[in-house]
Amino acid sequence: MRARSVEWTPPGATSCIIPSVLAYPNGEDQQSTYGEEALHQTPRYAWTKMLVEGVPEVRVAELDLNALFGGEEAFNYENRPATVRLISHFLSNIRNAFRNDPGILRELGTGNLPHIDWHFSLPASWGAEGLAIMEAAINQAGFRQNEGRIYFATEGLAAAIAVANRLRNKSMAQPGDRVLVCDLGGLTNDFTALDVVAVHPTEPHRLFFQRYDEDSKADCANPRIDQSLLRHLRRTLGRPLGSGRVMHVGLNAAIAAKHAFDGQSEASVDLSFDSWYLPRHFRGQQRDAFDQQGRRFIFSQDALQQSMGPVVTQIQDRVAALIDNWNPSKIAIIGGLSRSGYLQGRLSTMLATRYPTIYQVPMDSFRGNDAYVLPPAPIVPVSSRSSSSS
């Protein structure tokens, strides 16, 4: 039987992309929930990887994490549960859901699960502390209980493996190609390069990849976009949007604006507060920015440019430097931030102008919203490199 790659979606979930969120709705000494279910419960925790040594580009203590996450007093940076405990509970939930999913047994065509080799991705920016924390969490979550082997990779390499599977399945690469994989997430950016080194001697659809560079590269300035847009929203409305549903609605509006901005116009986004909230409290000066009847908020082009411009410039410069250093022939751009039309346009222009021979790999075979495809023109060829909100 030919080996193939299958993306697992937890039972009851709407996407194979699992939000990295953990909640304790019945108290922190009781069973936790995770993923989509935890998004709507408190107390809940996210962005745990920001608390581990090795991510100096964004100082966690300087970010309004409670606002960025949209919780109701759900994120206490100083007094949150131990990082190892949070990660172990999150991983344990995934392990149990996978092992207890009857669809897995049907997919394998067997009555019992075989030994499972578990592969874990870590932020490339983590150092020795991060690896030690992850190993301790994996042990606490039960992954070494009579199961298979444990493997570690950077988030960038994990993204590159996913891209390699698409290239193999779609016959979109050949020996001699070097692919730059750019995983531009809502929190971190990870980059990795893969070389296509050979074709299987009897199965030409099977390609063999080798990582070009020993280490993935990473940075994590992206949370500054959401924080800046939230600050603009609060200032315009004259409201703190400090907790509960109003905070969550504000965060969703900021993220929607980030994805909708094309670099040339304002962005109108849904701002569906409860009907009583803004009529009772709205004291903002820029009333033309908010349509109370239609429940829409308009982020101006200037506000979006000021919030996104510096981070997108940083990403663009990083991609260009990696292209110059690694000399890829193809580039694949995935991740939540890659949905931004503004970022797409900036990268598209740069690639067409400075690197016209690099081929942009269409990643529309990704499920969910984890990849984008640049318009076919003016980019004819593009390149590839590699490197991970919720």
Strands 207-211 and 189-199: antiparallel
- CB-CB neighbours of 8 under 10 Å: 15
Q: What is the pLDDT of residue 141?
A: 93
Q: What is the pLDDT of residue 64?
A: 57
Query: What pTM does this model have?
Result: 0.76
Domains assigned to the chain: 21-148 (no CATH), 155-220+308-361 (3.30.420.40), 225-306 (no CATH)
CA atoms within 13 A on the CB side of 222: 27
With both helix axes pointing from N to C terminus, report the angle between 128-140 and 83-99 in degrees, rounded to the nearest 10: 50
The angle formed by the CA atoms of residues 145, 21 and 92, to the nearest 5 degrees, is: 10
Phi, psi angle pair for 144, to nearest 5°: -100, 15
Instruction: Please list the pLDDT of the chain residue by residue as tens digits (390 residues).
Output: 445 566 788 888 877 778 888 888 898 889 999 988 887 787 777 777 766 665 544 555 555 555 555 444 444 445 556 788 989 999 999 999 998 888 887 877 777 777 888 888 887 767 777 888 889 999 999 988 766 788 888 787 788 877 887 777 667 778 888 999 998 887 778 888 888 888 777 776 667 778 777 555 666 678 789 889 988 998 888 888 776 677 778 888 998 999 999 999 999 998 887 766 766 555 555 555 777 667 788 999 999 999 999 999 999 999 999 999 999 999 999 888 888 889 989 999 999 999 999 988 875 544 433 433 333 222 222 222 222 332
Strands 296-299 and 290-291: antiparallel
- Cis before 378 (ω within 30): yes
Residues 32 and 89: beta-carbon distance below 8 Å? yes
Q: What is the pLDDT of residue 378?
A: 22
Residues 38 and 23: beta-carbon distance below 8 Å? yes
- CB-CB neighbours of 291 under 10 Å: 13
Q: What is the pLDDT of residue 4?
A: 58
Residues 70 and 251: beta-carbon distance below 8 Å? yes
- CB-CB neighbours of 229 under 10 Å: 27
Task: Please tell me the distance from the alpha carbon of residue 217 to that of residue 124, in angstroms, as a whole number.
Answer: 6
